[in-house]
Amino acid sequence: MKIEAKKIKEWAQRLGFDACGMAPARPVDAIHIHWLDEWLKAGCEAGMSYMANHRDLRIDPSTLVEGARTVISVALNYYPPQCRDTSEPHIAYYAYGKDYHDVMKRKLRELWQMIRAYCPEESGAEARVFVDSAPLLERYWAWRCGLGWIGKNTSLILPHRGSFFFLGEIVMNREVDQYDEPIKSHCGTCERCLQACPTHALEYPHRLNARRCISYLTIENREEIPAGIRRQIKNHLFGCDACQLACPHNRFSRPTRVEEFHPSEELLQLKRVSLYTLTEEDYRHIFKGSAVKRAKFTGLQRTIQGWKKD
């Protein structure tokens, strides 16, 4: 029994997702596997050694769900209704509200329950939901499911909506009656994102070197930030949106309707001067339930102390 793709998209919209598409659960295209292998060979993953793990799982969704037939990709807008003063330390927009992993997983599980209820009990319908929780190439699948195209800054860009979106997936062992087609890139000759990167981490179109990326260095990185790059980080506390803010397609960005992603007044009003005396108790209180906690208190302290050195 094939499931109606139209119904899945209607349910996704009802749950608040901004886009939903579907593709057959086949191995990743050879050219994308080549790009991944070349990126790893060049060491662009920096300290994210897990990116080199589970290659077989990463390139074939059928290894994640037995009998996988369909990948469903969804996008959820996180563009904030209010932004921090640009003269104050920058916090990536995606971390303004509650941790997206929790919000996205809850919505994805609800979507799967709707799909599961539509299937006959004897059908044996099974699935897994993913939000950065498995070796799955989420931007590839969002592109393959027709949500948007992968920009030169490596972000997924939705037509007439921009790139400030979280992505999530459902891999299920059932087919749908109609699959979506990938969208052609609309980047053209534009390279504003490359020019806007403060540390030149975007070495050329579609090539992001994490060793120089402010997002990696202020979040995932557990080592000291090299002095030469630290000076270029300047006013960034957690993450970086420079390449996205420079992208002309983000002129279409609209504030998210998801209340969990709205920033607290404390986060909006957090000042550089107060960060110099930030205690671990302050950190736990201000960033409770936030993705900022991924950097840990020690990570934030390292970045803040780096400002003083420069």
Residues recognised as catalytic: 132
> Smallest Cα–Cα separation from 109: which of 129, 136, 134, 138?
129
Task: Show the tokens assigned to 100.
Answer: 């997206």
Alpha-carbon distance 25 to 16, whole Å? 24
Residue 38 CB coordination number (10 Å): 11
